[in-house]
Amino acid sequence: MRTNEDLLSALPADGTLSGRTALVTGSSGGIGEAVARVLAASGAETVVSGRDRGRTRAVADAIGAAGGRAHALTADLGAEPAAVRAFAREAEDALGGRVDILVNNAGVYPGVATAAVTDDEMQALWATNIRAPHVLVAALAPRMAERGSGAVVNVGSWMARVGVPYKALYPATKAAVEQLTRAWAAEYGPHGVRVNTVAPGATATLGTASSADTLAAMTKATPAGVPVRPVDIAYAVRYLVSDEAAFVHGATLDVDGGLSATRLR
């Protein structure tokens, strides 16, 4: 199986999303980076965002080197709502006044016992994983609706529907994301804006590198047999924002190698 890095470095260019603009939050690495690079390879002018200026710029530069168009914006999605709304306006300005595709990927995921979760961690989970997507959708989806077209993809998690020890709040935020997706699909779908969720499984990223053995053990008994690659999630996002998914509204697409749906032993 080809690695995530090999696939990202050799993405074929196509016009699937030609003429469209995209904002991908938390795209300075991992899943978000893969999404930004795949959407850009398919023709979308893309805003790459992250908290680290250097990493964010590097992803935008990689997109440019591959022939795509990208802008690097530094943003903290755990900031107060006014700052997140200002970031939405900045992204719109960078993209010529419109965002056609919004991918709410940024998230935090502390994994500790319930009693050990600090107030700051609790606030960060709420602010980044739930409040920021809500603020961005409230800022951008109405303008998509005015134009009669647009797509929002929220990045959830396989853990949203499974009880996992030492991770109570993080899956709860992702369960909330799935419900927001259904509600937003009902609210904005009649106006041409499709809203869906992609739910990754155990994914191999730099952020999970220290848990590589755990990921391998978790996925060994799945049909895929190995951890998910970020690019696999990016392919699913590209499908959901493309015209091929014109009749997909309010869905959660699991990209988890069968982790949540099957048991081989």
pTM for the full predicted model: 0.96
CB atoms within 10 A of CB 226: 14
pLDDT attached to residue 218: 79
pLDDT attached to residue 208: 67
> What does pLDDT average to in each consecutive run of 10 residues of the chain (265 residues)?
89 96 97 98 98 98 97 97 98 98 94 91 96 98 98 97 91 97 98 98 75 80 91 97 98 95 85
φ and ψ at 136, to 5 degrees? -70, -40
How far apart, in whole angstroms, are the C-alpha atoms of residue 179 and residue 129? Answer: 13
- The answer as to CATH 3.40.50.720 being correct for domain 4-255 is yes
pLDDT attached to residue 90: 98
pLDDT attached to residue 153: 98
- The domain spans of the chain are 4-255
Amino acid at 235: Y
Which residues does the annotation mark as catalytic? 170
